[in-house]
Amino acid sequence: MNNKGKKKHLTRNVLTFVISAGVLGGLAFYEKPGLKPIAGDPIQHTITLSNSTPATISTLSYDNGTETYGNGSILFNYYQALDVSGYHTELASGGYIYNDGDTRITSIIKTYAVFTGTLSLYVGDSANLNSDSYGLTSGVDKTTPLSPYFFKIKATTTTQLTSLTITFACSELAYNYSSIWNNQFPSESAGTLAIGSPSEGDGFVLTNLGYASTFGNDDYNTPAPAPSWTFVGNGYDKHMTSQYEIEAIIRFDASTVDTAVFVIRISYSGYYDIQFRAKNTPAGWQGVQIYAGAALVAQHNNTSLGGLITDGSLTIVPEVDYIVKIQTFLDQSGAASIGKVYVNGVKVIEVGGLSKSLLDTNANVPMGVSSGTFVQADYFKCSSFTIS
């Protein structure tokens, strides 16, 4: 690999990404192309599906269909619904209603439903959600975590829905960050270990181009594939909150294995690994996975494991710069964690039910690679955040 001028090239790629996010609306926190949010201001708004405006799906048998509400601006999809007098609709067991992927509801705050039967609520950043459900109680508000854009209510028994009211802020989310660590890898310290002593393996060395690179044979002056698995972090007691994100810019180089692996290990002792895998040879595999120990708990192209990219569009290959990021949140119950993973601003995984050890404020959270992987990192940083 020719490293000449590479630092400038990496900076240019990042700048292009930032400008694109501002011009196009971004992919991680801003408007998504093709989506049509309700325009408005921070004042709260409501959309109500009621028995005075009943759905007209079918009077003969349970069927599927669509309706528009919110002054005709929001499309709702109905699955296994029946028109019943006196109700908005009746849902068969397993039937559901959700807002369509092309008409998001900006920053949902709470949901209020009146019904007879059993309903569960799903919320998130994509339509027709199938994970992280919360039980609804008729006549009781359910506050929505993280101000999402999409909802789904699903019946687990035959359920008559009298009304459903969705309260939303009609304004974009604002993320307020506070830095926990920020490793920038200065070229002035070339030839020394990056971050500090490794928790495992040989660690990373600083280069004269301003990267943290894998190396081999104790030769700090020669970036090379790691001879064994290695991890290096910022130590314990970082006072991380229940909402934080970790981000790095990485580039895979000439690894010696079919599949090269860069890892953000959430809780070193808990062995929660967010693995970014690069296809180094035709026999390799590319993508993103989350492991809890030996158990695979999330994969970018598996919808049952929180995957959001099933069309083969995610590629991770050598000699390309990637901004990789993991965000964690407490779920609504406060008992477990939600994880979101992004590659170059595109969310590739959203999965719930992860152990709260992800949110251990005393955890050591290192970056690392697998044996035979050649990686150079431009930075490795972590911030806590609040959403307003």
197 shares a domain with 95: no
The number of distinct structural domains making up the chain is: 2
| Cα gap 91→83, rounded to integer Å | 9
Instruction: Give me the mean pLDDT over the 1-17 stretch.
Output: 37
15 three-class SS = helix
Give which of 42, 334, 34 is closest to 172, Cα–Cα.
42
Domain final residue, candidates 122, 152, 168 = 168
Domain final residue, candidates 115, 137, 168 = 168
203 shares a domain with 127: no
Please work out, in degrees rounded to the nearest 5, the angle formed at the alpha carbon of residue 264 by the alpha carbons of 259 and 270.
110
- According to the model, what pLDDT value does residue 237 have? 67
190 shares a domain with 50: no
Residue 353 counted as domain residue: yes
Instruction: Give me the mean pLDDT over the 346-366 stretch.
Output: 74
- According to the model, what pLDDT value does residue 40 have? 37
163 shares a domain with 179: no
- According to the model, what pLDDT value does residue 162 have? 97
Residue 39 counted as domain residue: no
Tell me the pLDDT tens digit for each residue of 127-148.
887 766 778 899 998 877 667 8
Tell me the pLDDT tens digit for each residue of 151-198.
999 999 999 999 999 998 876 667 788 888 899 998 888 889 999 888
Residue 26 counted as domain residue: no
272 shares a domain with 382: yes
- According to the model, what pLDDT value does residue 133 have? 72
Continuous segment of H or E residues that includes residue 67? strand 63-69
Tell me the pLDDT tens digit for each residue of 305-331.
889 898 999 999 999 999 999 988 776
Q: Residue 247 corresponds to which tokens in the numbers above?
A: 């981000």
- According to the model, what pLDDT value does residue 255 have? 95
Whether 376 has a pLDDT exceeding 70, the answer reads yes
CA distances from 24 to 20, 29, 34, 265, 311 (A): 6, 12, 11, 32, 22
Whether 5 has a pLDDT exceeding 70, the answer reads no
137 shares a domain with 179: no
- According to the model, what pLDDT value does residue 131 have? 65
In which domain, by residue range, is 100 found? 45-168
Instruction: Give me the mean pLDDT over the 81-110 stretch.
Output: 92
- According to the model, what pLDDT value does residue 375 have? 96
Residue 30 counted as domain residue: no
Per-residue three-class SS string for the chain: CCCCCHHHHHHHHHHHHHHHHHHHCCCCCCCCCCCCCCCCCCCCEEEEEECCCCCCCCCCCCEEEEEEECCCCEEEEEEEEECCCCCCEEEEEEEEEEECCCCCCCCEEEEEEEEECCEEEEEECCCCCCCCEEECCCCCCEECCCCCCEEEEEECCCEEEEEEEEEECCCCCCEEEEEEEEECCCHHHCCCECCCCCCECCCCEECCCCCEECECCCCCCCECCCCCCEEECCCCCCCCCCCEEEEEEEEECCCCCCEEEEEEEECCCCCEEEEEEEECCCCCCCEEEEEECCEEEEECCCHHHCECCCCCCCCCCCCCEEEEEEEEEECCCCCCEEEEEEECCEEEEEEEEECHHHHCCCCCCCEEECCCCCEEEEEEEEEEEEEC
- According to the model, what pLDDT value does residue 334 have? 64
217 shares a domain with 164: no
377 shares a domain with 285: yes
pTM, full prediction: 0.66
Tell me the pLDDT tens digit for each residue of 257-287.
999 999 998 866 667 889 999 999 999 999 9
| Cα gap 95→277, rounded to integer Å | 38
Is-contact 199 231, C-beta < 8 A? yes
372 shares a domain with 248: yes
The number of angstroms, rounded, from the C-alpha of 326 to the middle of its chain's C-alpha atoms is 7
- According to the model, what pLDDT value does residue 45 have? 86
Tell me the pLDDT tens digit for each residue of 28-65.
222 323 333 333 334 678 899 999 999 999 999 999 99
- According to the model, what pLDDT value does residue 285 have? 95
- According to the model, what pLDDT value does residue 12 have? 31
Continuous segment of H or E residues that includes residue 19? helix 6-24
Whether 337 has a pLDDT exceeding 50, the answer reads yes
Residue 40 counted as domain residue: no
CATH number (domain holding residue 106): 2.60.120
Whether 222 has a pLDDT exceeding 60, the answer reads yes
356 shares a domain with 232: yes
Which has more confidence, 83 or 144?
A: 83
Residue 15 counted as domain residue: no
Domain final residue, candidates 133, 152, 168 = 168
Whether 18 has a pLDDT exceeding 80, the answer reads no
CA distances from 191 to 71, 128, 186, 232, 357 (A): 63, 51, 11, 16, 35
Average pLDDT, the chain: 81
Whether 77 has a pLDDT exceeding 80, the answer reads yes
199 shares a domain with 109: no
Residue 230 counted as domain residue: yes
Instruction: Give me the mean pLDDT over the 339-361 stretch.
Output: 79
Residue 338 counted as domain residue: yes
Whether 352 has a pLDDT exceeding 90, the answer reads no
157 shares a domain with 91: yes
Confidence of residue 23 (pLDDT cuts 50, 70, 90): very low
CATH number (domain holding residue 313): 2.60.120.200
- According to the model, what pLDDT value does residue 54 have? 95
Percent over 90 (pLDDT), the chain: 47
Which has more confidence, 132 or 107?
A: 107
